[in-house]
Structure 1
Amino acid sequence: MSGVGKSSVVRELAVRGYKAVDTDDRWCAPLPDGRQMWREDAIQALLDVEDADVLFIAGCEENQAKFHAQFDHIVLLSAPLETLVERLATRTDNPYGKKPEEFRRFLDDVRTVEPLLRRIADHEVVTSMPVDDVVTTILRLVDV
């Protein structure tokens, strides 16, 4: 979900020496309705490259399910709605969620998409704790 801390987790994983990709950064193509989809050719090429022992991919798009069979673990990052709303309102590195129509879409995604993600996730990590603790938890869960 937007505001859950995906970008922060990716940055911290990279600092720790892991290959980590935030799919919001050049891995998606915009759709006419304002949403986006993973660029399937780019994501497949990313998955095909074997230049790291472990690859972390952060993102959530409707077509991600096409790649689930290639993932060893699916970790859902979540946070209480109040926390997500506050993060969207106060973040300065990503404008998504500040426009009323984007905020309505965000609320709808939390209500409808997050439960679907929860069902397919191998693990769930609540990102209310410091990002260092979130990353440590993720690494423990995926046995890295």
Structure 2
Amino acid sequence: MRAERARMILVTGMSGVGKSTVLAALNQRGIDTVDTDEGNWIEDVDGEPLWNIPRMAALLGRHTDRPLVVQGTVANQGQLYHRFDAVVLLTAPQTVILERLQSRTSSDYGKSPAERLKVEQEISDVEPLLRAGATHVIDASAALGDVVAAVELILHGDDDVSAVDAKH
């Protein structure tokens, strides 16, 4: 009898939406997480940060009996969507994202006027692409506990996350 693989999901979204915060909270709950912004998951290809596909495929191909949440937003992530049980887009109103970028202490990205304009443009251009590939969309302007609980429900295969899930 072949053992069933534990679920793996991708949490994606724009800068400042709260992906790393959600990942940290899930990790505190004992859930295995990988933040692809950390470590050697991303490589620079002609100035574009992209996942190292062989490394990511090896991560996703490992046999595990524990669920896994991967966080990241890169242009080539769609190449691996078929390896995830769910692709969860965290989204928030632009004003919320810009406020979070301005007040966060973990990174200076998004604080300069030029970077804020770039973020606004990416929300307009990139988020619709992420939304189109997502299996679930969660309003990350909700309370952190509610967002984390919704992601955890999706991770465990419970699709009854209608309180914060805008897509199904």
> 1:96 matched to which residue of 2?
109
- Partner residue of 2:42 out of 22, 25, 28: 28
Which amino acid is 1:28 matched to? I
- Cα displacement string for residues 81-121 of structure 1 (whole angstroms, at most 9, x for unaligned residues): 00000001110101221234332221111001101111111
SS of the equivalent of 2:138 reads: strand
Deviation at 1:46, TM superposition (A): 1.3
SS of the equivalent of 1:17 reads: coil
In the TM superposition, 1:42-53 aligns within 5 A as 42-53=55-66
SS of the equivalent of 2:33 reads: strand
> 2:5 matched to which residue of 1?
none
How much identity, in percent, do the aligned residues show? 37
Cα separation, 2, equivalents of 1:113 and 1:6 = 16
TM-score, length basis structure 1: 0.90
Structure 1: 5+ residue runs without aligned partners? none
When structure 1 is superposed on structure 2, of 42-51 and 110-119 the one drifting more is: 42-51
> 2:68 matched to which residue of 1?
55
> 2:165 matched to which residue of 1?
none
Cα separation, 2, equivalents of 1:105 and 1:43 = 27
CA contact (8 A) 2:26 2:152 kept: no
Structure 2: 5+ residue runs without aligned partners? 1-13, 159-168
> 1:80 matched to which residue of 2?
93
> 1:124 matched to which residue of 2?
137
CA contact (8 A) 1:20 1:55 kept: yes
Q: Tell me the number of residue pairs that the alignment of Structure 1 and Structure 2 aligns.
A: 143
Structure possessing the higher radius of gyration over alpha carbons: 2
Q: Which has the higher helix share?
A: 1
